[in-house]
Amino acid sequence: MDKLRIVGGTPLNGEIRISGAKNSALPILACTLLGDTPSTVQNLPHLHDITTMIELFGCMGIQPIIDEKLSLEVDANTIKTLVAPYDLVKTMRASILVLGPMLARFGKAEVALPGGCAIGSRPVDLHVRGLQAMGANIKIEDGYIKAEIPSAGLHGTTFMFDTVSVTGTENLIMAAALAKGKTILQNAAKEPEVIDLANMINQMGGHVTGMGTDTITIEGVGHLQGTTFSVMADRIETGTYLVAAAITGGKVKLKDTDPSILEAVLIKLQEAGANIDTGRNWIALDMKGNKPKAVNIRTAPYPAFPTDMQAQFIALNSVAEGIGKVTETIFENRFMHVYELNRMGAQILIEGNTAIVKGVDSLKGAPVMATDLRASASLVLAGLVAQGETLIDRIYHIDRGYQCIEEKLQLLGAKIKRIAG
């Protein structure tokens, strides 16, 4: 198993490019299943989760074509099997995103239940209930969601999400795009990735309105055509590199990103003492060599502070001046990184769903273990500022969501190396 070796203490300095968003690329790829003709997806990040989605397509009989610029052409007409098997779904929960499009376009879908994961139980009941409200016949059998549409097809409905669910909203938008009549999704996710997906569907000839608000309306159409679509920038990758600069007292410029989708994170970085400058597609951060100040965080659905940036800000607070309280409201059990950070000398106490982080003068490098995607990012950040060497094990978690992390950090001057295991 590969490891990352980091020698901390260098303030980051330089410019890098931000990749396409994982959390947009996955629904966009699933959406290609809806088109009668092939679609091409551009600006795909080179990540393990994307490879898993391509493998999933392969299991279904679809062989996407990759060009030299890593654009992917998907022709859903070659589909042979309407099954997403457990072996793949268990490695990537977002595989559930094929459920809605497979069902709406091909009339049938069997998708393994994702099961538990490192950050909590993460059920998919809302996806299932929403599709049932559109008329799908669904049974849960042998660990699979087995779904079929009635002979009259899926029909529009009004569905209220009990809890805001990002992939739940995306699944139902995709199914509703080909259903008969109008679907209204209430308490829908407002995340920018949902907007990206709705834009793709509209480009394919669909009718989605209200994306970016909590009420999304979808007028079903008979057919959707393939299209060419470029995935939006990754706001979580952007935020992670901004924290990397802030935690090391450095100065970076991130290109090909979008400051307008990161407001909550930028506000907290400014509160932590960062000077931030933005342009249409870039963000620059300068700590002027200062130590960060502790900030209080409460995660919540977009546009509030994202849960996917919580671990990185705990790392930031762990070396900040003062005490920062970080409350996680989206996922249970999303504090696994805290125990590893404490092994590096951090002083973090967990009380219920709040981590109370008392900033220390310095962290000390140590062997640590990555437990999930964003938790591993926080260990990299801690390693960048810690005295001495940090060795991070199980970095396959990082490769799920950060394209070429060691190359990008090296470009910014970090002492980081991948050790093949």
Contact call for residue 123 and ligand UD1 (CB under 6 A): yes
Contact call for residue 131 and ligand UD1 (CB under 6 A): no
- Each residue 251-280 as x (binds ligand UD1 by CB under 6 A) or -, in order, gives ------------------------------
117 in active site: yes
- Each residue 322-351 as x (binds ligand UD1 by CB under 6 A) or -, in order, gives --------xx--------------------
How far apart are alpha carbons 148 and 32 in whole angstroms?
Answer: 20
- Each residue 85-104 as x (binds ligand UD1 by CB under 6 A) or -, in order, gives --------xx----------
- Taking the least distance from each CB to ligand UD1, the nearer of 193 and 406 is 193
In this structure, are residues 403 and 11 in contact, taking their beta carbons and an 8 Å threshold?
Answer: no
Distance of closest approach, residue 339 Cβ to ligand UD1, in angstroms: 20
Considering only CA atoms, which of 342, 338, 402, 395 is closest in space to residue 372?
395
In this structure, are residues 230 and 70 in contact, taking their beta carbons and an 8 Å threshold?
Answer: no
Considering only CA atoms, which of 398, 389, 311 is closest in space to residue 357?
311
Distance of closest approach, residue 331 Cβ to ligand UD1, in angstroms: 5
Contact call for residue 210 and ligand UD1 (CB under 6 A): no
- Each residue 346-375 as x (binds ligand UD1 by CB under 6 A) or -, in order, gives ------------------------------
Residue range at the interface with ligand UD1 (CB under 6 A); choices 29-37, 78-86, 119-127, 283-291:
119-127
Buried b (16+ CB within 10 A) or exposed e, 115-152: eeeebeebebebbbbbbebbbbebeeeeebbebebeee
- Taking the least distance from each CB to ligand UD1, the nearer of 155 and 190 is 190
Total residues in contact with ligand UD1, by rule CB under 6 A: 20
Residue range at the interface with ligand UD1 (CB under 6 A); choices 11-19, 39-47, 116-124, 199-207:
116-124
Contact call for residue 26 and ligand UD1 (CB under 6 A): yes
Cα angle value 90/262/404 (rounded, 5°): 50
- Taking the least distance from each CB to ligand UD1, the nearer of 72 and 94 is 94
Of 289-308, binders to ligand UD1 (CB under 6 A) are 307-308
Distance of closest approach, residue 7 Cβ to ligand UD1, in angstroms: 30
- Taking the least distance from each CB to ligand UD1, the nearer of 258 and 286 is 258
- Residue 336 φ/ψ, nearest 5 degrees: -60, -30
- Taking the least distance from each CB to ligand UD1, the nearer of 189 and 379 is 189
Binding site residues, ligand UD1, CB under 6 A? 23, 26, 93-94, 122-127, 163, 165-168, 193, 307-308, 330-331
Catalytic positions are 117
